[in-house]
Amino acid sequence: MLTIKHSAMTAGRYAWLSLVLAVVVVISGGGMAGQPALAQDANPNLLVNGSLEQPYYGQGAPTRTAPSGWSIWLGAGTPEAFPHNDKVQVLDGEVSWNVKQGYTAFTAAGYQRVSGLTAGQAVKLTAYGWVYTCNDTTTSCVIPEAPYRRSDTAAGASLKVGIDPNGGTDPLAASVVWSAAAAPYDQWAELSVTASAAGDSVTVFLHMTQAAGLAINNVYWDKVSLVRTEGGTVAGPVPAEVPFVTPQGVRPDGSIIHTVQSGDTLSSIAYAYFEYGVTPESIAALNPPMKPNTRVLQIGQQIVILPPGSVDPVTGKLLPAGAAPAVPAEAAGPTPVPSPTPVGGVAQPEPTTEPAADAEPPVTYGPVQAEFVALERGMMFWVQDTNQVFVLTNGADALGGTYKAYQNTWMDGMPEVDPALESQVPAGFAQPTRRFGQAWRTYAGVRDALGWATDETLPYTALVVRQGGTIVFSGPDGLVYQFDAEGNWQAFDLGVEQ
């Protein structure tokens, strides 16, 4: 029987914390319902492990691995290669393939040989690449907004994908058909190429190189496919460099409207909203007389990325066709929505009224890998599902105060602590390490607010419950932590007995 010793809670808090307990029972005692069988793909991916998932196997060095089905070719340098699970740089599945080498410009290619084709069969290779380069080891080029880093483009990075119609494994062979090159700093870019098989097999390549070896030099690959297609040899229309574009968020009516900034292009805007499945063609269709090959955009021009009702503003997820977004009550009321038809190059807003949602925001919950560290004047949590670091500063006591959530920007290979600070650490204390140390050192005010770490980082599995702007998760210390949308936190000792 479950009992709660903390009897002085308000009704709202009691409901949330009771929900946490109910979820524990459900997770521990319930199973997953059977899922319907997926329809067979009419044009399947010919690659083994195109999503680059684990397991990974050694490639000539303990720190150089490749996903099952893949191999690595080295042209220069001795890069490391690992599965990477930071969700910011994961596009498909649980991990992406991270190839990196600090302080050295390396050249490498992942490759896979595909058999079972017929001579003359056209195949199309598509892959997504991301580049992160930085020469500042103190801040790691961290910025407070998405994608949380601003790369140093002096690296001169270049990615491309290729197909050898002969099935050879040397990317330097003259027979390899390459896509155009791209330099997608801090965002995903699609690279594609089409070629015709010369025999019964082809080899695909994911090629990467740089002009300069910066201190941090990372490439990520994900979501690779090879499919049968029509036509001959065609290189995908990828720009030489994809300008950085920051997504501008979902509006309360479920639409996404992008206000053009300096340097934006239609292709780079489409990349920024890739998670919603948009393309230059779909954006152009919503913004006549714009064309998919439009090259000039006006600063301040408002472009419809998705129309009202497309995205749930609470969860940020695409809505099924015909579904209504769960609009928070405070966001209801008249909402200006730009007209999709530009007038003089700039879409004009026209008032519309969105009805208030009757239903409460949906509740999501589940077990999540987490980490915890205690500090002098607060604590820090990391949760894997959103890859966020929660910084909790104590208020009047150690059971409440204020918090801020930051995106984790630390990755394997970065410094775990700052050696320059070691001489300043008081006896009995320590620097917070790894992702906690990165946030503690780089985000303004965090170090002064929290002080030094009083214990080591503790990994554990948290139960996380979310509804609207409220988050509740269990701590490793027997407490349950509640975070509201106004930046306040409270901890409760439920005294749970089984």
180 and 135 within one domain: yes
**Are 70 and 135 members of one domain?**
yes
- H or E element that contains 344: none
Q: Which of 204, 235, 266 is the last residue of a domain?
A: 235
Answer whether residue 14 is part of any domain. no
What total of structural domains would you count in the chain?
A: 3
Q: Mind listing the pLDDT tens digit for each residue in 32-75? A: 333 344 445 568 999 999 999 999 999 988 899 999 999 999 99
Please tell me whether residues 276 and 308 are part of one structural domain. yes
Residue whose structure tokens are 């300069």: 212
- Choose one of 169, 203, 235: the last residue of a domain: 235
Q: Taking the CA of residue 18 as centre, how many other CA atoms within 13 Å lie in the half-sphere pointing to its CB?
A: 9
What would the pLDDT profile of 347-400 be if each residue is shown by its tens digit?
444 444 444 445 566 777 788 889 999 999 999 999 988 888 999 999 998 899
Q: In the predicted model, what is the mean pLDDT of the chain?
A: 81
CATH of the domain at 151: 2.60.120.260
- My answer on whether 278 and 370 are in the same domain is no
The domain containing residue 326 runs over which residues?
256-354
Are residues 267 and 198 part of one domain? no
Q: Is residue 85 part of a domain?
A: yes
Mean pLDDT of 171-190: 90
Q: Is 151 inside a domain boundary?
A: yes
Q: Final residue of a domain: which of 324, 354, 384?
A: 354
- Domain annotation covers residue 145: yes
| 317 and 436 part of one domain | no
Domain presence at residue 447: yes
85 token code pair:
């699970």
29 within a domain of the structure (yes/no): no
Q: Within this chain, do residues 212 and 339 fall inside the same structural domain, yes or no?
A: no
Q: Identify whether 249 is part of a domain.
A: no
pLDDT tens across 138-165, in order?
899 998 877 788 899 889 999 999 999 9
pTM: 0.55
Question: Which band of pLDDT confidence, cut at 50, 70 and 90, is reported for residue 296?
Answer: confident
Q: Are residues 184 and 270 in the same domain?
A: no
Contact (CB, 8 A) for 415 and 137: yes
What's the CATH code of the domain at 307? 3.10.350.10
What order of strands is seen across the sheet that includes strand 189-196? 56-61, 64-67, 80-84, 96-100, 216-229, 122-134, 189-196, 234-235
Cβ-in-10-Å burial (0-12, 13-18, 19+) of 292 comes to middle
What are the tens digits of pLDDT across the range 430-463?
999 999 998 898 888 899 999 999 999 999 998 8
Is the predicted pLDDT of residue 29 greater than 70, yes or no? no
In terms of domains, do 167 and 115 share one? Answer: yes
Q: Is residue 294 part of a domain?
A: yes
Task: Give me the amino acid identity at 304.
Answer: V
Together in a domain, 223 and 335: no
Cβ neighbours for 164, distance < 8 A, ≥ 6 positions apart: 170, 171, 173, 175, 176, 177, 202, 203, 205
Same domain, 218 and 70: yes
